[in-house]
Amino acid sequence: MEITCKKCSAVFRAVIDLPLAGPVRVACPVCRQQLTLRPAPSTEVTPPPRPAVKQREAVIVDEPRPFRAFLGAQLQKLGFKVTLFDTGEPALEFVGRTSAALVIVNVYLKGNRLGVDLSEDIKNDPQLKSTRVVLIGALFRANRFRANPTNLYGADEYIEEQIPEKEFRQIIRKLFPEVSPTVEHPTETLEHEDARRLARLILSDIIIYNTAKVEQGIRDGSFFDLLEREISEGRQYFDSRVEMRVRQNSEIFNETLRQFVLMKREELGRTSTA
């Protein structure tokens, strides 16, 4: 930077990193006058605290089952506040009251109102114009040799059970483009999908060969102790099949385990209250 000496008016150059982090002293090469350079007074204004962003309200209307828990967990990760309902009527009342941003509803519901009725009710209500509705198909993973439904009863999107996480997130982001794309699995690739599938298969094998232990473990909270050997064996196999950079990034095996425990807890809770 160029500096003019206040005493002798000589102009000289000094190599100094800008902006200045603090006061810097330099000497004029002509008159040896000591000069002190100070950082410019800050013009930055401290921004006022941001008003708390209201969490988007999401409602899932479906029978209590692992798939509902899966959807709930996914939406929470995407920043939604999730409320669950088994039947249509209380859900509609709640949606009307809260103007929920998103309603995911099974086509078939117990009670007097089907999921398709609920979808039409929401879409016909001018107060709920901005509410997005996603229908859950009644068929199990009918993803092959099958055309999409022609009538969505007003709903914005349609999904089926076993929808991959990635696809589900894409649908939500299509409906809510402002939802952060980096909340979870920012670098999701085909490798990650394959790793996730492998983790599910390993876990599925562990479960089917150890049903009694699994149930006991979930009920009394000793799941990870009772199945320590099997989980460790499964993890070893997983690690031997999945490249380190994929498994390190995402902790896929652990996450699959956690999701399973959550779903199973919900399942057992349902059985015990039935």
Partner 1 sequence: MTFINYAAREINCKIVYYGPGLCGKTTNLQWIYDKTNPQAKGKLISLATETDRTLFFDFLPLDLGQVRGFKTRFHLYTVPGQVFYDASRKLILKGVDGVIFVADSQEARMEANVEARYNLEKNLKDQGYDLAAVPYALQLNKRDLPTAIAADEMYRQLNFKGEPTFEAVAMSGTGVFDTLKSVAKLVLQELKKK
Sign of CA dihedral 201, 205, 208, 211: negative
Does the footprint of partner 1 cover residue 138 (CB under 8 A)? no
Q: Site for partner 1 (CB under 8 A): how many residues?
A: 19
Q: Which range touches partner 1 (CB under 8 A), out of 26-34, 56-64, 71-79, 192-200?
A: 192-200
Q: Which stretch binds partner 1 (CB under 8 A): 70-78, 96-104, 121-129, 195-203?
A: 195-203
CB of 50 to partner 1, least distance (A): 43
The candidate with the shortest Cα–Cα distance to 134, out of 166, 97, 110, 163, is 163
Residue 87: strand pairing partners: 110
Smallest separation, CB 79 to partner 1 (Å): 28
Q: Which residues make beta-bridge pairs with 139?
A: none
Using the rule CB under 8 A, which residue among 25, 38, 97, 144 binds partner 1? 144
Q: Which long-range contacts (CB under 8 A, 24 or more apart) does 258-264 make?
A: 259/70, 259/73, 260/203, 260/207, 261/218, 261/223, 262/69, 262/73, 263/66, 263/69, 263/70, 264/66, 264/214, 264/218
Smallest separation, CB 224 to partner 1 (Å): 19
Taking alpha carbons only, the member of 274, 248, 270, 224 closest to residue 68 is: 270
Pattern of binders to partner 1 over 154-183, x per CB under 8 A?
--------x---------------------
Binder of partner 1 out of 93, 220, 228, 233 (CB under 8 A) = 233
Residues near partner 1 (CB under 8 A) are: 139-142, 144-145, 162, 197-198, 200-202, 204-205, 207-209, 233, 237
